[in-house]
Structure 1
Amino acid sequence: MDFSFPAIGLVHSCFKEKFGIPRQPGLAPLATAEIEMLPPYDDPAAFDGLEGTSHLWVQFVFHANKREQWKPKVKPPRLGGNQTLGVFATRSPTRPAPIGLSVVRFDGLRQRDGKLLVAISGIDLLDGTPVLDIKPYVPYVDAVADARNSFATQPPAHIPVEIPAELAAFCADYQQKTAIDLAQLLTQILQQDPRPQYQQPDPERIYGMKLLDLDIRWRYSHSGICLTELICLA
């Protein structure tokens, strides 16, 4: 059986490309986005009663997943990219139906330029992601105290992130202009180690990602990650 569903919204995210996005929601609490609700779903009445909710389930499409055929076995980045698991034992975007589900913090509704926007944070969503549905997170049923997972038993270990003095000054200036704590946001993202786990850190290699209106560049040292450059793209 085949079904088709409308996109009810479109994500405007701080993450402008796939590389560097946290591998799960909630790992970078300062990572923010807005869901632009599309007509006819942009009616504020559809959100009546949500004001007492702290978190949301967002169901979305992995629109940037280019693989057209699914495979029963995948290589999760968490396992270094060299060990396979069944696709239904993972959260791989390469699925029979490329649908994702993330729990995010609900930061309120906004209306701007005639658009209804749902503000969210702690995201793992790429800019331009189509949204299929939004539901409230209900703690007494959604938080399962005795839940377990055989291979993802602990959150990934953080690696140290060094921000040199001149780039810390850039971050402070950026925060003054935008109210975004750029230094802390970068730390939350980079300490997750965006590098594919099968790659050995190369101190000569410069890595990069696009975040907000910036090009972020860093390298690996013996002690962790060192930020090397912040470039404004605007």
Structure 2
Amino acid sequence: MSIELEFIARVRSPYLEKFGIPRQPGLASGLHSRIELLGEYAQADCLQGLEQCSHIWLQFVFHDSLETRWRPKVRPPRLGGNKGMGVFATRSPVRPNPIGLSIAKIERIDTEHVAIDVSGLDLLDGTPILDIKPYVPYVDMQGEAVNQFAEEAPSALNVVFENGAREFCSLWDTRQTSVLGLSELITQVLAQDPRPAYQKGKSGAREYGMTLRPDLSGPVLNIRWVYISTETGLESLTVISIAEVRV
């Protein structure tokens, strides 16, 4: 049996590529996204009453993983990318049906443009939304819940900025109106260690880069950083450059 589903909204997100997106919602709470309702669902009446809620659930499609065939077992980053677990015991984006569930904090409801501004979202820009539901604390917050595989958040890495990158952040902050400064926003993303799991635990230095749009109405930034790992396990992350990208 099959059913046909319609997209009711799309996400406008700071994350323009999969690399660098926090692996769970709420880990980069300073970055804001926008849920824009589409077509017949773009009616203010659809959002009436949502102002009484602080958070929402979003059911969405992993639209950038549709070409990858699902497997019964996957290799989660938490296990270093070299041990397998059943797909239904993980939140892998490659699933029998490419549907995901995420939570976001409501920052503002825009009834004029029929959109919801949210924070802490972990979704790629352009992600199609299938449904929006209110978070209901007395049933959704289960105090006795256990997940032995993921009992606590991963340790955050210390992030430092070279002088040029820090100067860029200072200049950016004079032009933008974000609640948090650019260096703090970047730190929230990079402290989660977005490296592929198979690259972790190896000694040496390696440079990485990603694009990010910290302000949805602002420019895209190219951010480059270096990880240094030693044989003793010491790790450091240094942002070496930030530059605006012309798109």
TM range (shorter): over 0.9
Alignment of 1:1-234 (within 5 A): 1-110=1-110, 115-180=113-178, 181-200=181-200, 201=202, 203-212=204-213, 213-222=220-229, 223-234=235-246
CA-CA distance at 1:165 after TM superposition: 2.9
- Give 1:145's aligned amino acid: G
SS of 1:57 mapped into structure 2: strand
Contact conserved, 2:57 with 2:101, CA < 8 A, in 1? yes
Q: Aligned residues, how many?
A: 232
Deviations 1:167-223 (A, max 9, x none): 222112212222232111111111100012221456542101110010111001354
Tell me, in whole angstroms, the C-alpha distance in 1 between the residues paired with 2:132 and 2:170: 34
SS of 2:114 mapped into structure 1: strand
CA-CA distance at 1:52 after TM superposition: 1.8
Contact conserved, 1:203 with 1:219, CA < 8 A, in 2? no
Contact conserved, 2:21 with 2:189, CA < 8 A, in 1? yes
Contact conserved, 1:10 with 1:35, CA < 8 A, in 2? yes
Greater shift, 196-205 or 101-110, is seen at 196-205
Deviations 1:13-67 (A, max 9, x none): 0000000000000011012111111011111111111112111101110000044
CA-CA distance at 1:111 after TM superposition: 5.6
> Any gaps of 5 or more consecutive residues in structure 1?
none
Tell me, in whole angstroms, the C-alpha distance in 2 between the residues paired with 1:133 and 1:203: 45
SS of 1:51 mapped into structure 2: helix
Deviations 1:130-153 (A, max 9, x none): 001111111111010000012101
SS of 2:222 mapped into structure 1: strand
Greater shift, 46-55 or 217-226, is seen at 217-226
Tell me, in whole angstroms, the C-alpha distance in 1 between the residues paired with 2:204 and 2:124: 28
Give the structure-2-normalised TM-score: 0.89
SS of 2:170 mapped into structure 1: helix
Give the structure-1-normalised TM-score: 0.94
Percent of aligned pairs sharing the same letter: 46
Contact conserved, 1:202 with 1:220, CA < 8 A, in 2? no
Greater shift, 36-45 or 220-229, is seen at 220-229
> Any gaps of 5 or more consecutive residues in structure 2?
214-219, 230-234
Cα 1:164–1:68 shift into 2, 3 Å: closer
Contact conserved, 2:28 with 2:185, CA < 8 A, in 1? yes
Tell me, in whole angstroms, the C-alpha distance in 2 between the residues paired with 1:184 and 1:26: 15
